[in-house]
Amino acid sequence: MNKKEQQIQSFWNDQAKKFKGSDLATAPDTYYRQLEIQRIAEYLKDGTKILDVGCGNGFSTIKFAERFPRAAFVGLDYSKDLVHFARKNLALQKPNVRKRVEFIEGDVLALRKVARLRNEKFDYIVSERCLINLLNWEQQRQALLSLKKYLKKNGRIILTENTQEGLSRLNILRQSLNLPEIKVRWHNYYMPQEKLIRFAKENFIVEEVKNIGSLYYIISRVVYAKLAALKDQEPKYLHPINQIASQLPSLGDYSPNYIFLLKNKS
């Protein structure tokens, strides 16, 4: 790992130390995460084997396990501290969840070194904002090719990630109301959407490309953000308007956050 990669990994270990088992360790926007979990779950099926890469402290993985009582889950993360809290969170669950979920340490860029995954194949691989923590498109591409090797025939990657183009479209809306541009945080590299789609079409069957955050972000990051700015206030993630927005369907193409549903070709 180079210096920046080590800094990003330390960032996630520090998030674990700060937030422990809380959902806030890996997503500050509680209502949006609820929407994201709901959208991902729409593609999962019960009785299947599911790998959650970049599972953090297991908050989403455990929600999926509760929702699908016959599915088996492996959550993988390269932050040893987040995996520690994922296991602690799991220990608090009912036996039917505990027995079907396991959390392991591993780097999505070095999956061959993860002994537990040897000879494993999954029906679904979920990446919920994991690959945006890699340094560049080349690493993201490598990660996708490597994840593909762990898919069963007809298995699917539910790639839930942020794109550069999606963020630009949101920022155009914000600009029209004189709201400042939302910048990508130092530890993230948003996926280049055009390159991703071209690559995905070559290597997978692209079943769906959906901007899952669009309507939520229009309400939360444009309308509510403007109302807060007019009152000289900072917007709050837990504002009821965000809760209402999270219950609406995904309409439009104005957020960074997408689901790309990629089916294994072979």
Ligand X SMILES: C[S@@+](CC[C@H](N)C(=O)[O-])C[C@H]1O[C@@H](n2cnc3c(N)ncnc32)[C@H](O)[C@@H]1O
Would you tell me which residues interact with ligand X (CB under 6 A)? 12, 26-27, 54-56, 59-60, 77-79, 82, 107-109, 128-130, 133
Q: Provide the pairing of β-strand 72-77 with 101-105.
A: parallel
Residue with tokens 């929407």, as numbered in its chain: 35
CB of 109 to ligand X, least distance (A): 5
Based on CB atoms, which residue is closest to ligand X, 77 or 123? 77
CB of 150 to ligand X, least distance (A): 13
Based on CB atoms, which residue is closest to ligand X, 185 or 265? 185
Based on CB atoms, which residue is closest to ligand X, 142 or 223? 142
CB of 101 to ligand X, least distance (A): 14
Whole-number Å distance between alpha carbons of 48 and 122: 8
Query: Residue 54 in contact with residue 129, Cβ under 8 Å?
Result: yes
Q: Output DSSP code: residue 115.
A: G
Instruction: Classify 220 as helix, strand or coil.
Output: helix
Residue with tokens 């960032």, as numbered in its chain: 11
Q: Report the Cα–Cα distance between both ends of the chain, in Å, rounded.
A: 32
Based on CB atoms, which residue is closest to ligand X, 21 or 56? 56
CB of 104 to ligand X, least distance (A): 10
Instruction: Output the residue with the shortest Cβ distance to ligand X.
Output: 54
Please say whether the dihedral angle defined by the alpha carbons of residues 104, 105, 109 and 111, taken in this order, is positive or negative: negative
Based on CB atoms, which residue is closest to ligand X, 26 or 171? 26
CB of 199 to ligand X, least distance (A): 18
CB of 19 to ligand X, least distance (A): 11
Q: Output DSSP code: residue 182.
A: P
- The residues pairing with 104 across neighbouring beta strands, listed in sequence order, are 76
Based on CB atoms, which residue is closest to ligand X, 53 or 151? 53
Please say whether the dihedral angle defined by the alpha carbons of residues 125, 128, 133 and 136, taken in this order, is positive or negative: positive
